[in-house]
Amino acid sequence: MINIVFLGPPGAGKGTQSNKIEHEFNIVQISTGDILRNAVKTGSELGKLAKKYMDEGKLVPDDVIIGIVKARLQQDDCKNGFILDGFPRTIAQAEALDDMLKNDLNIELTHIIALEVPDELILERLTGRRSCSKCGAAYHLKYNPPKVDNICDICGSNLVQRDDDKEETINKRLKVYHEQTEQLKTYYSNSGKYYEIDGTKHPDEVYEKIKSILTK
């Protein structure tokens, strides 16, 4: 089994690399945001509890999230392994995850991979993203611009910037990352399973480095 925790700031490329790993190694990417929304949608007991906190504008407690992650890891598509993307976010969550994996599921993490990308490049990557308001086609003002400014090449509709790709929002997300999640690098650094990778390289080059780690 390959069981990965992916670390890195928003926009570091975790989603892109997770998709590549998922297809080549036949393991499943688990986004805690996705499974939280799915738990709420399906109306599971933990989902109902999570929805109560979300409706009140509160953070979902760690024990509820751990319960939802545990239920997800027991599904059949995780039998070959998994990639945790977006979880854990804090030391307390990492400790709870370790305890749950060891004592409840009898499995262990095999790799903790951190993508290193400086804040200025994160801002350039995220603030430049645009998507078509109609067909959803994705663009980037620098790396993949439309042929005509602000117009979708495919359907001719206007391009829009998502609220969470605006500079003010990104700076807030980066602040939270540096204050909380970045501490996980220290937490995992002595595990013998921790790897830091330069995420500023071309995505294919980054993936080759990750692949070499996973296959050695």
Break the chain into its structural domains and give their ranges: 2-118+172-215
Contact 131, 159 (CB under 8 A): yes
In the set 14, 72, 125, 130, the catalytic residue is 14
In the numeric block, the tokens 């670390």 are attached to: 7
Query: How confident is the model over 63-111, as pLDDT tens digits?
Result: 988 998 999 999 999 999 999 998 999 999 999 999 999 999 999 999 9
* Structure-token pair, residue 114: 């951190």
Contact 111, 216 (CB under 8 A): no
In the set 162, 166, 172, 175, the catalytic residue is 162
In the set 72, 125, 129, 130, the catalytic residue is 129
In the numeric block, the tokens 């937490």 are attached to: 187
Mean pLDDT of the chain: 93
pLDDT at 6: 95
172 has catalytic annotation: no
Under the banding of pLDDT at 50, 70 and 90, the label for residue 40 is: confident
Q: Where are the alpha helices (DSSP H) in 128-166?
A: none
Q: How far is CA 69 from CA 47, 72, 202, in A?
A: 11, 5, 31
162 has catalytic annotation: yes
Contact 3, 108 (CB under 8 A): yes
* 168 or 39, which is more confident: 168
pLDDT at 39: 82
130 has catalytic annotation: no
89 has catalytic annotation: yes
Quick one: average pLDDT of 119-143?
96
Out of 3.40.605.10, 1.10.10.10, 3.40.50.300, 2.60.40.10, select the CATH number for domain 2-118+172-215. Answer: 3.40.50.300
14 has catalytic annotation: yes
For the chain, percent of residues with pLDDT exceeding 90 = 78
The pLDDT of residue 58 is above 80: no
Quick one: average pLDDT of 13-22?
94
pLDDT at 33: 78
Residues 158, 57: Cα–Cα separation, whole Å: 32
Residues 159, 48: Cα–Cα separation, whole Å: 36
Nearest Cα neighbor of 92 from 124, 66, 70 is: 66
Q: How far is CA 41 from CA 31, 37, 48, 54, 61, in A?
A: 15, 6, 9, 13, 18
In the set 37, 51, 70, 173, the catalytic residue is 173
End-to-end Cα, the chain, rounded Å: 14
In sequence order, the 6+-apart residues with CB closer than 8 A to the CB of 182 are none
Query: What's the distance, CA 62 to chain centroid?
Result: 17
pTM of the model: 0.87
In the set 72, 89, 125, 130, the catalytic residue is 89
In the numeric block, the tokens 């807030």 are attached to: 172
Query: How confident is the model over 147-163, as pLDDT tens digits?
Result: 999 999 999 999 999 98
